């Protein structure tokens, strides 16, 4: 990578960082800002795999999840409950989740009759901007 490439990347990163806090979160205020930005990205459709900002959302979600793990000690919650909460918070219906299967498959997952597989977990994590480990 040339020096010019590094300078170009640095300029783009500064421009993105003015709007998206892509760094380790150290305070509750930084956390709140990051969550607000994440929600804005989700509202703009960045949770979709094909969206150009899906990767940015994934990175930001990772920083948020790391802060949550270190500071908020989330309880051990079954994956179906996590999915149900994410669906409620984001106004998503069973039929809105084709990335994990048919409406019947989603229903079986939510009722605990079926477990999420790794592929479904990865797709849900990307869609909702969270770490896949949230479901594990």
Question: Do 83 and 128 belong together in one domain?
Answer: yes
CA distance 96 to 100: 10
Residue 27 has pLDDT above 90, yes or no: yes
**pLDDT reported for residue 136:** 79
Residue that finishes a domain, picked among 54, 74, 94? 74
pTM: 0.55
Residues 46 and 81 in one domain: no
d(CA 41, CA 58): 10
Kindly state whether residues 6 and 67 are assigned to the same domain: yes
Query: What are the pLDDT digits (tens) for 91-118?
Result: 999 999 998 999 999 999 999 999 999 8
CATH of residue 104: 1.10.260.40
User: Quick one: 63 and 89 in the same domain?
Assistant: no
Residue 125 belongs to what domain range?
A: 75-136
Of 74, 98, 115, the domain-final residue: 74
Same structural domain for residues 45 and 108? no
Q: For residues 113 and 107, what is the distance between their CA atoms, to the nearest angstrom?
A: 9
Per-residue pLDDT tens over the stretch 39-62: 999 889 888 888 999 999 999 999
Confidence category of residue 63, pLDDT binned at 50, 70, 90: very high
pLDDT of residue 29: 94
Residue 74's pLDDT is what? Answer: 58
* Residues 70, 82 within the same domain: no
Per the structure, how many domains does the chain have? Answer: 2
- The answer to whether residues 4 and 46 touch, using CB atoms and an 8 Å cutoff, is no
Distance CA(93)–CA(97), nearest Å, equals 7
**CA-CA distance, 107 to 93, in Å (whole number)?**
10
Q: How many helices (H) and strands (E) does the chain have?
A: 6, 0
């Amino acid at each position: 990578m040339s020096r010019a490439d590094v300078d170009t990347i640095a300029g783009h990163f500064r421009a993105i960082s003015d709007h998206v806090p892509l760094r380790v979160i150290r305070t509750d205020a930084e956390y709140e800002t990051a969550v607000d930005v994440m929600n804005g990205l989700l509202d703009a459709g960045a949770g979709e795999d094909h969206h150009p900002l899906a990767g940015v959302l994934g990175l930001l979600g990772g920083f948020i999840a790391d802060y949550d793990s270190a500071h908020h000690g989330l309880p051990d919650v079954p994956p179906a409950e996590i999915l149900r909460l994410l669906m409620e918070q984001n106004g998503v219906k069973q039929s809105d989740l084709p990335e994990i299967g048919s409406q019947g498959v989603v229903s079986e997952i939510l009722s605990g009759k079926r477990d999420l597989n790794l592929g479904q977990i990865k797709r849900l994590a990307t869609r909702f901007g969270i770490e896949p480990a949230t479901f594990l």
